[in-house]
């Protein structure tokens, strides 16, 4: 592990030597200068982890040196020392960016402790910058895969609205990347250093939603033994993402409307308003206008949320992106699983291109994670793809449900048989649900994820088709 480097600047030789010996004994690497001018030149090329400098020196003073350092590196950590204590000088040094100020002679144990604290702070700041860069890489534009015309339009729209405070409503089928778009808007905006807080309105029990969103006061209800900060408060300064907003009960829609209008709320059981500065992004995989017409979603709330609309296209409408996405997922899971899978065969790619992806990008990712896991060679072949894909014809005809396989449309007589489309679709949907339950080992939440459904929708369909929910 590399040693921390500390720059020591003092015109007094005894002090320079003392600090140099003390810090080297403690395992630090040091560089010593009698002149701030010489030290500044060295600093510009080396950027040490910490600077310890005297205040009063001939030529360039310690305060001038501090200000010059901050121009070169605003994040530099500097400790000031002086034999001439002055409150005004100390205040000026702290205003200029010094992290500490000592009067000579100083307590050795105290300055050692403060040096350790300063270096730990420097490490945390570096880790924080790396984390922010990683988040920007993960959730910014560089994480989007796809060069289709529809995706380019979405990239341009995200860029144009990122730095505004305007509410955004994202629509699209499950698995199209709605949360990814919300995160990209946040991390491309001037709010990127503040929190991005997401809540799935369909995944939290109705009786807990308000407390989760707005928090509660101690004693507000049975079990509320301490005050709780809600997600809206945690998102202060940043972005609040409300996923599956159409799952929100009507009584909470009223409170959310007030919150969006005034950017203030009350905790459950509270009696004072809490003001926050947040951007609201909402999303749904349902037809929001139809939900509003049916009275299940408040029109006034819809208009508040739907200032900017981003419609995510399903994967079947941007098949040009399947190839780049497939290569990205192969590389991702090959590295993550420690495999040496490098590419995909033409036959396997043709099967991927022939599928309609009811689960969209999420389904494609699951397919390729499975393929990489099973593949023993360096190339993904049809043998590693799920059975339902390999039963798709090379012409692109989709797998039909058993009733149509057993009773083709064209009978032997040559006359077309009537088909009950609604019944056929329901049978196919039931078959897919049963298959998903088998793949998930009967875990309904995992099966819902495989199908791109909310857990609430999954429960409804299980009941609808009489599939055991035990």
Worst-scoring range by mean pLDDT, 166-175, 249-258, 453-462? 453-462
Report helix angle 108-139 to 178-187, nearest 10: 130
Q: Say what the pLDDT of residue 363 is.
A: 92
Q: Tokens 């739907």 correspond to what residue?
A: 306
**Mean pLDDT score, 451-464:** 80
pLDDT (tens digit per residue) in 254-275 = 999 999 999 999 999 888 889 9
pLDDT (tens digit per residue) in 128-174 = 665 555 544 454 454 577 788 899 899 899 999 999 999 999 999 99
In the predicted structure, residue 175 carries a pLDDT above the cut 50: yes
Q: Say what the pLDDT of residue 218 is.
A: 86
**Do the first three CATH levels of 141-313 and 316-399 match, i.e. the same topology?**
no
Q: Which two tokens stand for residue 66?
A: 């501090």
**Residue 206 pLDDT class (50, 70, 90 cuts):** confident
**Residue 418 pLDDT class (50, 70, 90 cuts):** low
Rg of the chain over all Cα atoms, to the nearest angstrom: 31
Q: Say what the pLDDT of residue 51 is.
A: 92
Q: Where are the domains of the chain?
A: 5-133, 141-313, 316-399, 413-470
**Residue 399 pLDDT class (50, 70, 90 cuts):** very low
Q: Say what the pLDDT of residue 282 is.
A: 97
Angle CA(92)–CA(97)–CA(100) in degrees, nearest 5? 80
Q: Say what the pLDDT of residue 110 is.
A: 85
Cβ neighbour number for residue 252 with a 10 Å cutoff: 16
Angle CA(434)–CA(439)–CA(442) in degrees, nearest 5? 65
Q: How far apart are CA 182 and CA 240, in angstroms?
A: 9
In the predicted structure, residue 281 carries a pLDDT above the cut 90: yes
Q: Say what the pLDDT of residue 469 is.
A: 53
Question: Domain 141-313 in CATH: superfamily?
Answer: P-loop containing nucleotide triphosphate hydrolases (3.40.50.300)
pLDDT (tens digit per residue) in 86-113 = 677 778 888 888 888 888 887 888 889 8
Q: Which residues contact 32 (CB under 8 A, 6 or more apart)?
A: 8, 9, 16, 19, 20
Pick the CATH number of 316-399 from 3.40.50.300, 3.30.1490.20, 1.10.8.60, 3.60.70.12: 1.10.8.60
DSSP letter string, 212-235: HHHEE-TTSSTT--S-EE-HHHHT
Q: Say what the pLDDT of residue 137 is.
A: 46
Q: Mean pLDDT in the chain?
A: 84
Q: Which two tokens stand for residue 140?
A: 């910014």
Q: Which of 343, 339, 314, 340 lies closest to 326, judged by CA?
A: 343
Is residue 35 a contact partner of residue 103, using CB atoms and an 8 Å limit? no
pLDDT (tens digit per residue) in 435-445 = 888 877 788 88
Q: Which residues contact 49 (CB under 8 A, 6 or more apart)?
A: 4, 5, 6, 77, 119, 122
Q: Say what the pLDDT of residue 143 is.
A: 57
Worst-scoring range by mean pLDDT, 82-91, 316-325, 350-359, 377-386? 82-91
Integer angstrom CA distances of residue 110 from 105, 138, 238, 264, 384: 12, 42, 38, 45, 64
In the predicted structure, residue 401 carries a pLDDT above the cut 60: no
- CATH code for the domain defined by 413-470: 1.10.10.60
Q: Tokens 């910490």 correspond to what residue?
A: 50
Q: How far apart are CA 417 and CA 372, in angstroms?
A: 42
Q: Say what the pLDDT of residue 451 is.
A: 79
**Mean pLDDT score, 241-254:** 94
In the predicted structure, residue 37 carries a pLDDT above the cut 80: yes
**Residue 393 pLDDT class (50, 70, 90 cuts):** very low
In the predicted structure, residue 419 carries a pLDDT above the cut 70: no
Integer angstrom CA distances of residue 380 from 325, 371, 372, 375, 394: 14, 7, 7, 6, 17
Cβ neighbour number for residue 311 with a 10 Å cutoff: 13
**Residue 178 pLDDT class (50, 70, 90 cuts):** very high
Is residue 240 a contact partner of residue 263, using CB atoms and an 8 Å limit? no
Strand residue runs (E) in 16-72:
29-33, 50-54
Most confident of 198-212, 293-307, 338-352: 293-307
The more confidently predicted of residues 374 and 87 is: 374
Is residue 69 a contact partner of residue 76, using CB atoms and an 8 Å limit? yes
- CATH code for the domain defined by 5-133: 3.40.50.2300
**Mean pLDDT score, 44-49:** 83
Q: Say what the pLDDT of residue 410 is.
A: 44
**Mean pLDDT score, 39-62:** 88
The more confidently predicted of residues 408 and 282 is: 282
Q: Which two tokens stand for residue 56?
A: 């009063």
Q: Which of 221, 222, 230 lies closest to 252, judged by CA?
A: 230
């Amino acid at each position: 592990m590399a040693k921390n480097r500390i720059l020591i600047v003092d015109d007094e030789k005894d002090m320079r030597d003392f600090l140099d010996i003390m810090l080297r004994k403690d395992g630090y690497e040091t560089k010593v200068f009698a002149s701030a001018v010489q030290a500044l030149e060295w600093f510009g090329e080396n950027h040490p982890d910490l600077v310890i400098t005297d205040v009063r020196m001939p030529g360039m003073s310690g305060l001038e040196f501090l200000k010059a350092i901050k121009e070169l590196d605003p994040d530099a950590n500097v400790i000031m020392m002086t034999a001439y204590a002055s409150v005004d000088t100390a205040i000026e040094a702290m205003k200029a960016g010094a992290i500490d100020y000592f009067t000579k002679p100083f307590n050795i144990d105290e300055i050692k402790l403060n040096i350790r604290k300063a270096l730990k702070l420097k490490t945390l700041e570096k880790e924080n910058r790396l984390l922010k860069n990683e988040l920007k890489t993960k959730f910014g534009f560089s994480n989007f895969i796809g060069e289709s015309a529809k995706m380019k339009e979405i990239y341009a729209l995200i860029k144009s609205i990122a730095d505004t405070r305007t509410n955004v409503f994202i629509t699209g089928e499950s698995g199209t990347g709605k949360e990814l778009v919300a995160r990209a808007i946040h991390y491309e905006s001037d709010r990127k250093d503040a929190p991005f807080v997401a809540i799935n309105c369909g995944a939290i029990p109705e009786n807990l939603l308000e407390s989760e969103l707005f928090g509660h006061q101690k004693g507000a209800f049975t079990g509320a033994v301490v005050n709780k900060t809600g997600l809206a408060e945690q998102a202060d300064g940043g972005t609040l993402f409300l996923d599956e907003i159409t799952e929100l009960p009507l009584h909470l829609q009223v409170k959310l409307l007030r919150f969006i209008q005034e950017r203030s709320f009350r905790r459950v059981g509270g009696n004072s308003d809490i003001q926050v500065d947040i951007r609201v992004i909402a999303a749904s995989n349902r037809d929001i206008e139809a939900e509003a017409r049916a009275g299940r979603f408040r029109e006034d709330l819809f208009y508040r949320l739907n200032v900017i609309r981003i419609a995510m296209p399903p994967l079947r409408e941007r098949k040009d992106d399947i190839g780049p996405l497939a290569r990205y997922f192969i590389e991702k899971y090959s590295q993550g699983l420690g495999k040496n899978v490098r590419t995909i065969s033409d036959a396997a790619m043709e099967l991927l291109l022939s599928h309609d992806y009811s689960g969209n990008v999420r389904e494609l990712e699951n397919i390729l994670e499975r393929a990489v896991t099973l593949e023993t060679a360096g190339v993904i072949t049809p043998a590693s793809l799920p059975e339902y894909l390999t039963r798709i014809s090379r012409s692109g005809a989709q797998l039909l449900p058993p009733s149509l396989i057993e009773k083709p449309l064209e009978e032997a007589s040559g006359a077309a048989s009537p088909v009950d489309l609604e019944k056929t679709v329901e049978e196919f949907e039931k078959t897919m649900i049963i298959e998903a339950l088998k793949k998930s080992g009967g875990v309904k939440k995992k099966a819902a994820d495989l199908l791109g459904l909310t857990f609430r929708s999954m429960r409804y369909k299980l009941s609808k088709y009489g599939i055991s929910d035990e």
